A and B are shown apart, each in its own frame.
Chain A
Amino acid sequence: MKHTVDVNIPLGPVHPCFKEPARVKCETKGERIIAAEVELGYMKKGIERIMKGRPWQEVMFLAERVCGICSVIHNMVFIEAIEQVSGIAVPPRAAYLRVVANELDRMQSHLLANFSYCYTIEHETLGMYLLDLREKVMDVIERLTGARVTCAYIIPGGVRFDIGAQDEAFLRESLARIEDDLTRYTGMFESGPMIALRSRGIGILTKEAAMQAHAVGPTARASGISVDRRTEHPTYRQLGFEPVVRTECDNYARIMVRFGEVFQSIRLIRACLDNLPEGVIRGGGTCTAGETRYSGEAPRGELTYIIRTDDYGRVIDIQIQTPSIMNIEACCHVMIIGVDSVADVTSTFVSADPCIACTER
């Protein structure tokens, strides 16, 4: 789209506040943003094309490499899609352990997102506290799955490793420490006057606009839309899951929804450990031919895999719809339009927790 404007400010592709490269071209009138255009293509992987024709054993490793921040959910959604196609049942113990891994992944992703936001609004102290807390969560993930990222923990018909008594004690102890620290940090965010100045009433995404842009995840839930794929997942239903929803529709609400979800994840993990069924962690099964569309709730929102497999479990066709696609669009075409300062563009962009790796796949 080539056109002439009064002043345009290109942010990115390399910007200190962006974790990944993307260019947001802002059209301004004074300090006010009146339009924005997003330019992608700096880290296209073409991973869907690479996946085609490969057996599921290879695709499951590729799937979690779509995104390094939320790799567990990519692993989980792909495997559960394969299980749906092939009619493979998961033992109850494995289903609970999947929730534990997934919620730990959500915790570290949300803590990283909130760190990025605090860093962007120049509250680096709180940002560093959150980053330190994330390291504790990463240690727990490593203890449970054997790796910090791309752990390939979830496999068709179960999970790779069981949780021992010592690991469980370590997990419970870590959760208690994380909960204590996070209560304090959330209080700092809630009551900080400078944080409020940079966050409250900025980057408004109304409920109607969020629905129109098909916004998902914490971005949608911060706009009063009670949408979460976990409400339809059988294991989460057993745990009595209820989404965290706020109605302020601004940057503050998006960050607070994420804080709320970290506390919720801690509660869910504890519930899983308290009610962990006895039994095997791998049920077995054979991957067969079929076609399905399967969605799960990633830290950033609804993640959908549309797959078609052949008789040998090879992936013939695959499309991945990641949540950041919808959230970045909502952010750049609605949230940042009308903000009164260019400085608020980066903070609003980061508040939507954009993941360019997911978007470009």
Chain B
Amino acid sequence: MSAWIYEQDLTAQKYRILVSVRHDRVIRQIAADLDIGLQELRKYVIEHCDMILLENLPARYEAALTAAGDADPVAKAIGRDLYTTAIPLVPTGIMETIYQTTAAKVAAGTPFDAAVADARAMMKEVIHA
């Protein structure tokens, strides 16, 4: 077992990437979408993504929004693919559980917006944890 022997603290550099104009716009949009504090979200992505993924964030975000198209409305509303494959904020397995739960609620007659809000709350919990 060995640790990264060349590891540096890249937080400052990653933060500079995140506060550039387009990246900042995307991060603010995600923070508003998930109702998470801006700094909290920045800290989360800095800890979980490497520098090239952070650089690619706006392109991945745009690609995911385009790819979502007119697909399953529940998946689109909760950002099933957006927050797992495009921007890895929530593990795929957990997101699938959230999606199944939300889809079941909608099918059972819960108002769409309320079910999506519950899903967002669950995603927020995952990020907080």
Contacts and interface: CB of A to CB of B under 8 A. Distances in A.
**Chains A and B are bound partners:** yes
Interface of A: 1-8, 10, 23, 25, 37-41, 48, 211-214, 306, 317, 319, 321, 325-326, 328-329, 332-333, 359
A329 B21 contact: no
Contacts of A10: 4-6
Contacts of B1: 4-6
Contacts of A333: 52-53
10 contacts: A1-B47, A39-B50, A40-B13, A40-B51, A41-B13, A306-B22, A321-B58, A325-B52, A328-B52, A329-B55
Contact of A7 (B2, B47, B60, B62): B2
Interface string B24-45: 0000000000000000000000
Contact of A8 (B2, B22, B48): B2
B122 to A, nearest CB: 24
B85 A329 contact: no
B53 to A, nearest CB: 6
Q: How large is the interface on B (under 10, 10 to 19, 20 to 34, 35 or more residues)?
A: 20 to 34
B59 A214 contact: yes
Contacts of A3: 4
Nearest to B53: A329
Contacts of B47: 1
Interface string B98-114: 00000000000000000
B10 A212 contact: no
B56 A326 contact: yes
Most chain B CB within a 10 A radius of its CB, from A213, A214, A333: A214
A4 B4 CA distance: 7
B50 A1 contact: yes
A319 B10 CA distance: 23
A321 B13 contact: no
A48 B22 CA distance: 12
A59 B64 CA distance: 32
B86 A325 contact: no
Contacts of A38: 50-52
B125 to A, nearest CB: 22
A4 B51 contact: no
B56 A2 contact: no
Contacts of A328: 52
A1 B86 CA distance: 19
Lowest 10 CB-CB distances: which A-B pairs, in order? Answer: A38-B52, A214-B63, A329-B56, A37-B50, A214-B59, A40-B51, A329-B52, A41-B13, A325-B55, A319-B22
B110 to A, nearest CB: 31
Contacts of B3: 2, 4-5
Contacts of A321: 22, 58-59
Contacts of A2: 3-4, 7
Nearest to B9: A2
A213 B21 CA distance: 21
B52 A332 contact: yes
Contacts of B20: 48, 319
Contact of B67 (A7, A25, A211): A211
Contacts of B7: 2
